[in-house]
């Protein structure tokens, strides 16, 4: 048989194996070397067959990892329900969020579960921080760090952001105590009590906490149907009807669904910011979790100083670090003053340890490992959700730590929350991501942790608790 037919034969065989679930969604195919040996084919023939399957969307190639079965489902591409646009309102954060955070359950079904060794990146990070703590301080331990933060860390962050397409100087950055602290400073600098802030819906519940604390009002702007972030047409409608002072967006893999805003939408957003005199607060915390190319920040397109970029290492490195950064544009000097008043200074040794970790290449190496692991965990989660009974719609994000699952309208995730707790499982109900209590039939489900047997068992409990029925199957 000629090579022209042999690659077609291999292509058909691989497709049949995928269809018959020999390899499930997200699972790795045999290596090219293995296929060559077992099927008696040349490397070029095997590569040709795999490339044809990749073009058809059946498999995907991952650098230095091989070929994997693509994650796909007939329902996953359908539009999810959109939020309603309602008048601005004060915010009241529910006790449910305090309960979830009190259980350390923001990104885990089983928060009490502690298992496995530390990732190599975290081991290297801890060593770098340890060296910084042991380094002769020459009296610096008796002095506060400057409000903007350690110069060395800001220089490393500037290099990191330059690689993402934004040429920034260390002087344009200020170190904060995490991204939540950065968002707090951004809102304090750009708004006053009673101002209206536009947010994505569904959106980050931590933002709702800040808006409530600062006695601001919130207006929810729906996200687009194609997982592309805030609907800019809807935002424009809002701006025509109400005076909005600031807009908070997460262009890169926004929680809860991992939406990614296209560049055309980013440019329209900045145009509206100029037209309506908005502060645009960019929550960039998930960008470094990208499974493919890391998107440029919205701030890279900002020529008028209207974007306040906020981020941290919490999602890409360690939630325990509590180190973030902010670049305030036209509000930057005000932000430095507010940091001095509210925090005074950041830990110098911690900053120096992280700066050394970045300079030695530890952060870049950690990100490569983490992205591969997160993508595999996402694929496993989506495959498991694809086997749930009932009509369940799920977005498939290209970064971030979670998926957004929408169940039939008869499901009430708030009612399910205490029932799940009785089984030792903590869910994150949809209404947490809305100031007006929308999305009662939705869940954010995390893939931040390895899917061991205990977490798989916890996930398998949910369809029964949610009342999903096989009779409503797709």
Helices 3-19, 32-39: crossing angle, 10 deg rounding: 110
Q: Which residues pair with 259 in a beta bridge?
A: 254
Q: List all residues 6 or more positions away from 130 whose beta carbon is below 8 Å from its beta carbon.
A: 353
Buried b (16+ CB within 10 A) or exposed e, 190-219: bbeeebbbbbbbbbbbbbbbbbeebebbbb
Mapping DSSP to helix (H, G, I), strand (E, B) and coil, where does residue 417 land?
A: helix
pLDDT in tens, 27-77: 889 999 999 998 889 998 998 889 888 877 788 888 777 888 887 543 444
Please give the pLDDT value at position 92: 60
Instruction: Name the strand (E) or helix (H) holding 370.
Output: helix 362-386
Q: Which residues pair with 273 in a beta bridge?
A: none
Percent of the chain at pLDDT exceeding 90: 59
Q: For tokens 């262009």, what's the residue? A: 251
Exposed / middle / buried, residue 95 (Cβ in 10 Å: 0-12, 13-18, 19+): exposed
Asked whether 192 and 51 are in contact (CB, 8 A), the reply is no
First to last CA, the chain: 42
Q: List all residues 6 or more positions away from 85 whose beta carbon is below 8 Å from its beta carbon.
A: 219, 220, 221, 222, 234, 237, 238
pLDDT in tens, 336-345: 999 988 887 7
Please give the pLDDT value at position 80: 54
Sign, Cα dihedral of 187, 191, 195, 201: negative
| Angstrom distance (rounded) from CA 330 to CA 151 | 21
| Angstrom distance (rounded) from CA 173 to CA 419 | 45
Please give the pLDDT value at position 256: 92
Please give the pLDDT value at position 456: 94
Asked whether 307 and 109 are in contact (CB, 8 A), the reply is no
Please give the pLDDT value at position 53: 86
* Structure token digits, residue 393: 């719609």
pLDDT band of residue 78 (cuts 50, 70, 90) is very low
For 309, phi then psi, to 5°, come to -85, 130
pLDDT (average), residues 404-420: 92
pLDDT (average), residues 346-366: 92
Q: Which residues pair with 218 in a beta bridge?
A: 89, 197
Sign, Cα dihedral of 441, 444, 447, 451: negative
Please give the pLDDT value at position 215: 94
Distances (CA, A) of 88 to 232, 236, 377: 18, 15, 38
C-alpha closest to that of 68 among 6, 18, 8: 18
* Structure token digits, residue 250: 């997460």
Number of Cβ within 10 Å of residue 104's Cβ equals 12
* Structure token digits, residue 241: 């009807």
* Structure token digits, residue 353: 């340890």
| Beta-sheet pairing, 279-283 with 246-249 | parallel
Please give the pLDDT value at position 26: 76
Averaged pLDDT score across all residues of the chain:
87
Q: Which residues pair with 196 in a beta bridge?
A: 217
* Structure token digits, residue 310: 């906020």
The region, left, alpha or beta by phi > 0 then psi within -120 to 50, assigned to residue 467 is: left
C-alpha closest to that of 72 among 57, 84, 83, 91: 57
pLDDT in tens, 245-281: 999 999 999 999 899 999 999 999 999 999 999 999 9
pLDDT in tens, 273-306: 999 999 999 999 999 999 988 999 999 999 999 9
């Amino acid at each position: 048989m000629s090579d022209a037919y042999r690659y077609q034969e291999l292509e058909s065989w691989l497709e049949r194996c995928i269809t018959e679930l020999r390899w499930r969604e997200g699972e790795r195919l045999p290596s090219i070397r293995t296929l060559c040996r077992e099927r008696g084919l040349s490397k070029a023939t095997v590569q040709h067959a795999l490339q044809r399957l990749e073009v058809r969307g059946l498999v995907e190639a991952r650098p230095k990892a091989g070929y994997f079965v693509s994650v796909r489902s007939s329902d996953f591409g359908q539009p999810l329900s959109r939020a309603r646009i309602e008048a601005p309102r004060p915010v009241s954060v529910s006790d449910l969020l305090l309960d979830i955070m009190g259980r350390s359950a923001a990104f885990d079904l089983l928060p009490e579960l502690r298992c496995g060794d530390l990732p190599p990146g975290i081991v290297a990070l801890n060593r770098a921080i340890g060296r910084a703590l042991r380094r002769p301080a020459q009296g610096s331990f008796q002095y506060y760090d400057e409000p903007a933060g350690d110069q060395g860390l800001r220089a490393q962050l500037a290099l990191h952001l330059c690689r993402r397409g934004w040429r920034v100087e260390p002087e344009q950055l200020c170190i904060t105590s995490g991204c939540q602290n950065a968002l707090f400073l951004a809102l304090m600098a750009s708004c006053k009590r009673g101002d209206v802030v536009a947010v994505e819906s569904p959106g980050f519940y931590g933002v709702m906490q800040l808006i409530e604390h600062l006695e601001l009002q919130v207006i929810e702007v729906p996200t687009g149907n194609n997982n592309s972030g805030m609907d800019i047409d809807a935002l424009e409608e809002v701006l025509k009807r109400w005076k909005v002072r600031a807009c908070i967006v997460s262009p890169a893999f926004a929680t809860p669904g991992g939406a990614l805003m296209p560049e055309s939408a980013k440019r329209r957003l900045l145009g509206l910011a100029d037209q309506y005199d908005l502060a645009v607060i960019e929550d960039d915390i998930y960008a470094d979790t990208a499974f493919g190319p890391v998107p440029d920040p919205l701030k890279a397109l900002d020529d008028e100083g209207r974007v306040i970029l906020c981020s941290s290492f919490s999602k890409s490195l360690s939630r325990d670090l509590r180190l973030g950064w902010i670049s305030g544009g036209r509000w930057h000097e005000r932000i430095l003053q507010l940091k001095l008043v509210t925090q005074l200074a950041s830990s110098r040794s911690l900053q120096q340890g992280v700066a050394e970790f970045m300079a030695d290449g530890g952060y870049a190496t950690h990100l490569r490992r983490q992205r591969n692991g997160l993508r595999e965990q996402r694929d496993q989660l989506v495959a498991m959700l694809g086997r749930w009974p009932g009509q369940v719609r799920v977005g498939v994000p290209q970064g971030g730590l979670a998926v957004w699952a929408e169940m039939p309208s008869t499901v009430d995730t708030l009612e399910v929350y205490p029932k799940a707790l009785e089984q030792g499982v903590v869910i994150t109900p949809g209404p947490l991501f809305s100031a007006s209590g929308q999305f009662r039939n939705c869940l954010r489900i995390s893939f931040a942790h390895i899917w061991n047997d205990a977490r798989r068992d916890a996930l398998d409990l949910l369809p029964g608790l949610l009342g999903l029925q096989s009779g409503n199957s797709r």
